[in-house]
Structure 1
Amino acid sequence: MLGLRACRTVLNNPIAYRLSTARLLSEQVSADGTDAIYIANVEGRRNNSPILLGLIDYLERTSASNIGFFQPVAESPFPHSITGLPRHVELLHNALKLKRDPQDMSAMSAQDAIKLLAVGNWNEMLDQVITSYQQYKKGHDLVILEGISRGGAGLVNTMELNARVASAIGTPVMMALDARSDSTAESLVNSALIARQGLIRNQAKVMGLILNKVSTANGAQLEKDIRAGLKDIGLPVFGALPRDPLLSSVRLDEIKAALGAKLVYGPEDAVLDSAVSEVIVATGSVDELLGQLAASRSRSLVVTSQDRTDVLLAVAAARLLGSTLPISGIVLTSAGSARSEAAESALRVCYGGQEGSSHLPLPVLSVDMPAYDALQAMSKASAAILPTSHAKIEQSKLLFERHVDAEALATELAAPRDQRLTPKMFMHQIMQQCLEKPQNIVLPEGMDKRVLAAAAEIATKKLANITILGKPESIETEARRLGLDLSACTIIDHTESLDIERYIEALVEARKHKGLTPEQARDSLADPNAFGVMMVQTGDMDGMVSGAAHTTAATIRPALMVLRGPESPLVSSVFLMCLPHKVLVYGDCAVNVSPTAEQLAQIAVTSADTARAFGLEPRVAMLSYSTGTSGTGPEVERVAEAVKIAKQMRPELMLEGPIQYDAAVDPTIAAAKIKEPSDVAGQANVCIFPDLNTGNNTYKAVQQSTGAIAMGPIMQGFVKPVNDLSRGCTINDIINTVACTSMQSLGVKGER
């Protein structure tokens, strides 16, 4: 809630206030701050309407940003909705005139999410959410995401769901917490702390808290006490929306929606956004009904059967004669016979309003059910904000502006923020690049069933154009046995290829300094790995992936003969370590056993280039068992010398060392160990190990202890990409390695 001074600022000079906030948003949010906010109700309730309406309206009014709205999992539609859209999608699209197609504003239905989660398929769910969100995000400066609610769809543990989705997307969470009439500051603080812990435990970042439905009796003191209770842990409270009588009221449009009723009398734009405080069932005489209405002190809804023309005419006559009956509308039930055409004509005139009349047209609704069923349905109608709830929509905007410290929120949005690249987003970006520019990749191991399964999936998803080496008849027979569709793949028998002479000539030319003869070249090309490498060397293929059924030496040796680059004479490798909340590059973990200082420097700059090729801004840490000058010895000195050489090779590179692993990747430890300003300490994303023993064991230890996905080894130092698989690789490993090979190829071509 705004303090007294802030409230006076808003009231006395709203234009200046809005301009200052608009400047914060338009100048900084898109440049340095967050580009999305994830609004998650702490208890998984669907009570976020006032917050969403107020926030998006405020942002659209006070900034030049193009604001979007997105639901990772679509909630259910409004009762009897014609569009079938999720309720908040329909509400916000209509009320705030959002530009994009509302069909694009959600990733999946709750039913689809339940099917995936029921079998533990978190990855597929998150992949679908990220793909849909990234597509929707294009063209928006800021997107407001609404968290998953229980909503009667069967989704449970919504806090974990929201934390995982927000963490995967990499957007901070704004918690929304509903107060009850008996809520105390202590109970609300505890609820906020528990929710915050749940979010943090699942790697989500928490931006702050907005309270909702706070009692007006003690709201100011309650908010003050909650702020005090959360101050020590640094959780900001941006405001507290009060429990509002208008928002809590049931209106005629909500009853219409609950009944699935039709408007039969009154103009198309009839005013349905009026309060309904009581229901009067007109079963008696007209005199009795008019007496009840005259005595009523609140707005009433009259329910009667469709054959009570006398009731309709009597109410219309009373209004036309100047009576101020407190009536919101009339509902006609299905009982009784239909009205005559003469009665219909008269009623259309009476209830459609007359030019010059001081009375608004009175809406008359019809429902195809008996009075008892209609009354039962009305009793279950709950207060909601519909697209037609104009008064509630405007009240929501007003409450947000009055009770949320929007300037503090805008400042938080504009604050420079660590732009985390989450593993899910990282993989999504790689796959999107592959889809947009599929590369030609050769797989020499055509008789390995894992390779065939991966090839089929890659071809189906159109991630790459796959060529498989082997006997076509044998491969097709195996594919049928496995139920695989390889129709989109090219299968080549390398022993009978028409290109063999061209490859022999190219190989002899590449190895002429070694005196290679055509006969020797022909013998070499009988090996599928050598043949695949020559397909890459001549440009027929963009990259090769092998090693599922061959040793690393057998895979890499042919590439060493023809693909080693003059600018990178050293071949090395890295692993892309997809940790739960970030992506790191580890090198060298597979090739060079005891690199010299010069080789370590080469590995460092090459690994930085690889990181950049995969969309990471490299911050390189040269690792050792000591940090800075805290230790001595030949191993530390070798790393220190490598740092000097690497900086001479690439002065612009953010590279530091010697440094210990914990100080390289953990900001808190870095602050304790390193007192000088650093672009690397605590934020390194490229870790260069001093030797193969350390690197190989570290990547496996991290993989096993954290559940990280280790993508690699990805080979470096070749002019065109050739990558090695582990012989224990999975189908997913092969797919990921093909994707990485495609990214390297795009980097070589300068097409990323």
Structure 2
Amino acid sequence: MARGIYVTGLGRRGGKSTVALGVCELLSRRVARLGVFRPLVADTGDDPLLDLLRERYRPDLPAGSVHGVSLAEAVAMVADGKREELVARLVERYRELERHCDAIVVVGSDFEEAAAGSHDGLHREFAFNARLANEFGCVVVAVVNGAGGTAASVEASARSALHGLTDLGATVAAVVANRVPEGVEPPALGVPTYVLRETATLAAPTVAEVAAALGAKVVSGDDAALERDVRDFVVGAAQVPLVLDHVTDGALMITPGDRADLLLALAAAHAAGELNPSGVVLTLGVPTDPRVLRVVARLSADLAVLAVEGASFETIAKATRLAGRLSPGRPRKVETALGVFEDGVDTGELAGCLDVTRSTRVTPMMFEYELIDRARAQRRRLVLPEGTDDRILRAAEICCRRGVADLTLLGPEADIHRRARELGLDLGGVSIVDPATSEWREEFAATYVELRRHKGIAPDLARDLVRDVNYFGTLMVHSGRSDGMVSGAAHTTAATIRPAFEIIRTSPGVAVASSVFLMLLADRVLVYGDCAVNPDPNAEQLAGIALSSADTAARFGIEPRVAMLSYSTGTSGAGADVEKVAAATALVRERRPDLPVEGPIQYDAAIDPAVAATKLPESPVAGRATVFVFPDLNTGNNTYKAVQRSAGAVAVGPVIQGLRKPVNDLSRGATVKDIVNTIAITAIQSA
């Protein structure tokens, strides 16, 4: 039977969505098959939170399998005296889902939904959710709204929720007070109690959400402009200087469509970097001169301009009632919510209270979230040389929100700040260093001259060279100002790792620096090496690659069982290539007698127990290998790409190994998610 966790709120807009997301994230690291369920959904079927949780954690579950009935159906059944039948139907739907899951997070119904139908049985929603939690066999995580509260009021709300649920027979695992002001600490209630801090970006709707609620037409602005948070509103009714004085960061200006002067002034101020508004809403249905709109689009393509038919007062009234919502199309808001949850909750303690046994299977999502957890636990300082790349900036914001690492971006400070503003990013926790103007430049040049004295490097050349962001970043790592570096989104592999080979160099006893890819398959993680650095290693180097790969596997929680790959298994074949692998295997056994290793061995015998039983029945590695060492770069690179594309595996890497301090290379096609994963990996390596 799947373990069930029922997340229910006490009070409107308490932030149950943030807690439900955080609990799902926590459990996704511990179970392979996580389910989500919502007993009641809106009559329209529109439930952004449920869509987000299903798509993020169990996209294989049909949308219709994760909810019970619509609010209208529930109201009708209660009105007809079929309350018990309603509960029975919801239990039946839950049990159907339970058969496909190891754990299920249930998101309780909302007071806003209950208000829409106040028939007997639904207006007592608190009791209704407690009853369902009991019928489902779930433990409860109760959420209370602490917005604007004092320590006394937060404690009273939390205590009321705890005793109310307990009196109704529910088992309360934890209480979470959300949107709590700074300075208010968790009350002592006898069960784990946590406080999540009020975060403006979570409560703020996006421009797209405002447009949808107003039925507005998008006149100008790209997708990124529509994803900006609306943190404030300003009415454009006065003259230009006075209105601009009142435009705060993230403000949405609402003004009649004939105020071309205000529209142009705001676009110009935004393009100049003087103001950072979220957008403009033009009211009254007054068409704006097309020439003005063309100028605005050229001045500031990432400034959203919306148009509505209604009057300004009506528009303001609607817009100011909106609140941000978690949904699949709001990744920045999702990362913010997870950061808030992880900052406020002792996830280890909560996982123990929820009593969910960790699965022996390791899915890609479980592995990726484990990386984030481990990086957060040992927070390190990392440098990202490509500070002007949009993907790097977005990844840096996510890492700051999640507490993955303390980051330094390299590049012109004004350019980085301007681009971050244009993208609507918050880089408040990120340091920025410009190699061209840094006070460290002379020191780094002198260091490089000393390190490369045997090459006769002149001081003037060194001064020019250390302006290169990859050399500068590598010297930051060498000097201890950073614990590791991640680059390659806009540079070749050679440009990224050459400075590391020259400056940081390999660890003592390591034959050669090399690389691995962490291959995240559907139910396990494998290590492939070397697929990116050494074209044709000799036996000595191949043994070194095997030992480094085994160490890397162990560092990331993968029990190393090493397969030294060849076109021959055991003594079935001969030739120089086979002999090289056999010699390398012998060296590995000599240097690490404790390490399970087999070779030469073919890939099928290494991974498939049935084939292994025929070819090498007594081997402790055959059929169970976790580390695959390829004989050359040609074989390794082609194999990892073949598995990645044909088996749908996630390839994380290349992870550079064997250096004194970690420097990792990104693919130039890396996604933001790839960059976040690599930052987490580098942080773990440096720890």
1:577 maps to 2:519: yes
Cα separation, partners in 2 of 1:605 and 1:500, compared to 1, 3 Å: same
Cα separation, partners in 2 of 1:205 and 1:462, compared to 1, 3 Å: closer
For 2:377 and 2:516, how far apart are their aligned partners in 1? 25
Moved more, 591-600 or 627-636: 627-636
For 1:675 and 1:491, how far apart are their aligned partners in 2? 57
Kept after mapping to 2: 8 A contact 1:167/1:205: no
Query: Which residue of 583, 591, 594 corresponds with 1:641?
Result: 583
The CA deviation at 1:458 is: 1.4
SS of residue in 1 equivalent to 2:563: strand
For 2:409 and 2:560, how far apart are their aligned partners in 1? 35
Partner of 1:721: 662
1:71 maps to 2:4: yes
For 2:559 and 2:383, how far apart are their aligned partners in 1? 29
Alignment of 1:105-184 (within 5 A): 129-131=24-26, 151-153=39-41
One-letter code aligned to 1:459:
C
1:734 maps to 2:629: no
For 1:639 and 1:671, how far apart are their aligned partners in 2? 22
The CA deviation at 1:151 is: 3.8
One-letter code aligned to 2:379:
P
For 1:522 and 1:548, how far apart are their aligned partners in 2? 24
Query: Which residue of 469, 478, 490 corresponds with 1:549?
Result: 490
Q: Deviations over 1:697-716 (max 9, x none)?
A: 11111111122111111111
For 1:513 and 1:577, how far apart are their aligned partners in 2? 40
Give me the identity figure in percent: 49
One-letter code aligned to 1:587:
G
Kept after mapping to 2: 8 A contact 1:447/1:470: yes
Kept after mapping to 2: 8 A contact 1:75/1:149: no
Alignment of 1:206-245 (within 5 A): none
Kept after mapping to 2: 8 A contact 1:611/1:686: yes
Partner of 2:169: 387
Cα separation, partners in 2 of 1:386 and 1:488, compared to 1, 3 Å: closer
Query: Which residue of 624, 634, 653 corresponds with 1:683?
Result: 624
1:705 maps to 2:646: yes
For 1:592 and 1:723, how far apart are their aligned partners in 2? 15
Q: Deviations over 1:552-596 (max 9, x none)?
A: 111111111111123224111111111111111111101111111
For 2:617 and 2:653, how far apart are their aligned partners in 1? 35
Cα separation, partners in 2 of 1:552 and 1:632, compared to 1, 3 Å: same
One-letter code aligned to 2:169:
P
For 1:614 and 1:682, how far apart are their aligned partners in 2? 21
The CA deviation at 1:514 is: 3.0
1:429 maps to 2:387: no
1:626 maps to 2:568: yes
Partner of 2:409: 468
For 1:418 and 1:493, how far apart are their aligned partners in 2? 46
Partner of 2:388: 447
- Unpaired runs of 5+ residues, structure 1, are 1-38, 41-69, 78-82, 85-102, 114-124, 138-142, 169-194, 207-255, 262-384, 390-415, 747-752
Query: Which residue of 481, 484, 488 corresponds with 2:425?
Result: 484
Partner of 1:593: 535
The CA deviation at 1:165 is: 6.2
Kept after mapping to 2: 8 A contact 1:622/1:689: yes
Q: Deviations over 1:207-248 (max 9, x none)?
A: xxxxxxxxxxxxxxxxxxxxxxxxxxxxxxxxxxxxxxxxxx
Cα separation, partners in 2 of 1:146 and 1:387, compared to 1, 3 Å: farther
For 1:478 and 1:719, how far apart are their aligned partners in 2? 34
The CA deviation at 1:152 is: 4.5
Cα separation, partners in 2 of 1:637 and 1:518, compared to 1, 3 Å: same
For 1:108 and 1:661, how far apart are their aligned partners in 2? 48
Cα separation, partners in 2 of 1:440 and 1:167, compared to 1, 3 Å: farther
Kept after mapping to 1: 8 A contact 2:28/2:57: no
Partner of 2:397: 456
Kept after mapping to 2: 8 A contact 1:76/1:151: no
Query: Which residue of 515, 523, 526 corresponds with 2:464?
Result: 523
Partner of 1:673: 615
- Unpaired runs of 5+ residues, structure 2, are 62-95, 104-119, 126-166, 172-356
Cα separation, partners in 2 of 1:581 and 1:505, compared to 1, 3 Å: same
One-letter code aligned to 2:436:
T
Q: Deviations over 1:631-688 (max 9, x none)?
A: 2222222111110011112111111111121221222332232221x32122211111
For 2:613 and 2:16, how far apart are their aligned partners in 1? 43
For 1:601 and 1:616, how far apart are their aligned partners in 2? 19
For 1:146 and 1:591, how far apart are their aligned partners in 2? 38
Kept after mapping to 2: 8 A contact 1:545/1:725: yes
For 1:567 and 1:494, how far apart are their aligned partners in 2? 33
Kept after mapping to 2: 8 A contact 1:71/1:147: no
Tell me the TM-score normalized by structure 2.
0.53
Cα separation, partners in 2 of 1:496 and 1:684, compared to 1, 3 Å: same
For 1:732 and 1:574, how far apart are their aligned partners in 2? 18
The CA deviation at 1:720 is: 0.4
For 2:613 and 2:359, how far apart are their aligned partners in 1? 17
For 2:612 and 2:437, how far apart are their aligned partners in 1? 59
For 1:703 and 1:643, how far apart are their aligned partners in 2? 27
The CA deviation at 1:257 is: 8.0
SS of residue in 2 equivalent to 1:496: coil
One-letter code aligned to 2:586:
K
RMSD of aligned C-alpha atoms? 4.1
For 2:34 and 2:672, how far apart are their aligned partners in 1? 35
Cα separation, partners in 2 of 1:205 and 1:636, compared to 1, 3 Å: farther
One-letter code aligned to 1:698:
T
Cα separation, partners in 2 of 1:562 and 1:632, compared to 1, 3 Å: same
Query: Which residue of 579, 583, 603 corresponds with 1:661?
Result: 603
SS of residue in 1 equivalent to 2:436: helix
1:613 maps to 2:395: no
SS of residue in 2 equivalent to 1:577: strand
Alignment of 1:20-31 (within 5 A): none
For 2:673 and 2:34, how far apart are their aligned partners in 1? 31
For 2:170 and 2:575, how far apart are their aligned partners in 1? 76
For 1:715 and 1:508, how far apart are their aligned partners in 2? 25
Partner of 1:563: 504
Report which of the two structures shows the higher radius of gyration computed on alpha carbons: 1
Q: Deviations over 1:470-526 (max 9, x none)?
A: 111111111111111222111111111111222223223322333334333212212
Alignment of 1:1-40 (within 5 A): 39-40=1-2
The CA deviation at 1:609 is: 0.9
For 1:108 and 1:664, how far apart are their aligned partners in 2? 47
Q: Deviations over 1:347-379 (max 9, x none)?
A: xxxxxxxxxxxxxxxxxxxxxxxxxxxxxxxxx
The CA deviation at 1:161 is: 7.0
Kept after mapping to 1: 8 A contact 2:35/2:57: no
For 2:33 and 2:634, how far apart are their aligned partners in 1? 45
For 1:575 and 1:701, how far apart are their aligned partners in 2? 13
Q: Deviations over 1:389-447 (max 9, x none)?
A: 9xxxxxxxxxxxxxxxxxxxxxxxxxx99933332222222101211222111111122
Cα separation, partners in 2 of 1:163 and 1:719, compared to 1, 3 Å: closer
Kept after mapping to 2: 8 A contact 1:434/1:464: yes
Cα separation, partners in 2 of 1:687 and 1:500, compared to 1, 3 Å: same
Q: Deviations over 1:588-611 (max 9, x none)?
A: 101111111111111000111111
Cα separation, partners in 2 of 1:471 and 1:668, compared to 1, 3 Å: same
Tell me the TM-score normalized by structure 1.
0.48
